[in-house]
Amino acid sequence: MARTRMSPERRRAQILEAAIGCFSKHGPSASTVEIAAAAGVSEALIFHYFPTRNDLWLAVATRSSSFAARMLEFFQSFGEGPVEDELLRISMLFSETLVEELEIVAILLGAGLRDETLGVHIRRGHLEGARVLAESLRARGALREGIDAEAAALGFIGGLVLCFMVHHREADWEARARAFASGWVRAWCRGALEVRDGV
């Protein structure tokens, strides 16, 4: 029985999923030979779709289901509830997503420090998330007078990412992430938000 040919889009997605699995399991040292075996394709076919290893890393980082894409969706979902409640909800989603994608996010952040192209993409994602959050905070009139919305939003995101970078290898990471998110939201709100009833 003849096998049906996979469309180029499906084949590329198959290779990308295999790469994500191998990077998660073996870290940044996962070889293209291992990725090819996991995908059931030749190593040459990987290089047909991803000419360099950096191209493969960038595809992993920019996939539509990536942590960065999901993070942006979270910040875009800023609702009409009390600002502190909305930030807590978003922070919990952020932490849960970090827990789900623990290994690949840690690897990408580390690789982004070494690879300029990947680092630029990661920084761009953080800046875009901060921009969206800043717009929401400005639209709600939530910030104290004189506070730069982008700087406040970037600091908010940075605190969550720093907690991840410091603690993600600890056995109780999930509980620590949730506790930190809750405490960080309260502390950040006390410093950045306009004082109002219920805040």
The residue behind tokens 């600002």 is 83
Domains of the chain and CATH, by start = 8-51 (1.10.10.60), 67-192 (1.10.357.10)
- What does the pLDDT read at residue 33? 95
pLDDT in tens, 130-142: 999 999 999 998 8
Least reliable range by pLDDT among 8-12, 18-22, 109-113, 127-131: 109-113
Report which of residues 117 and 6 the model is more confident about: 6
Of 18, 178, 12, which Cα lies nearest the Cα of 104? 18
Q: Which of 112, 114, 107, 136 is nearest to 124 (CA)?
A: 112
pLDDT for 67 equals: 74
- Residue 133's pLDDT is what? 94
Q: For residues 81 and 93, what is the distance between their CA atoms, to the nearest angstrom?
A: 16
Read off the pTM. Answer: 0.74
Convert the pLDDT of each residue in 102-146 to its tens digit: 777 777 777 777 778 778 877 888 889 899 999 999 999 889 889
Measuring CA to CA, which residue among 181, 192, 94 is closest to residue 134? 192
Tell me the mean pLDDT in the region 11-31. 87
163 pLDDT more than 90: no
What DSSP assignment string belongs to the chain? Answer: -PPPPPPHHHHHHHHHHHHHHHHHHHGGG--HHHHHHHHTS-HHHHHHHSSSHHHHHHHHHHSTTSHHHHHHHHHHT--SS-HHHHHHHHHHHHHHHHHHTHHHHHHHHHHHHH-HHHHHHHHHHHHHHHHHHHHHHHHTT-BPTT--HHHHHHHHHHHHHHHHHHHTTSTTHHHHHHHHHHHHHHHHHHHHBPP-TT-
Q: Are 199 and 193 in contact (CB under 8 A)?
A: yes
Question: Which pLDDT band, with edges at 50, 70 and 90, does 156 fall under?
Answer: very high
Give the pLDDT band (50/70/90) at residue 196.
low
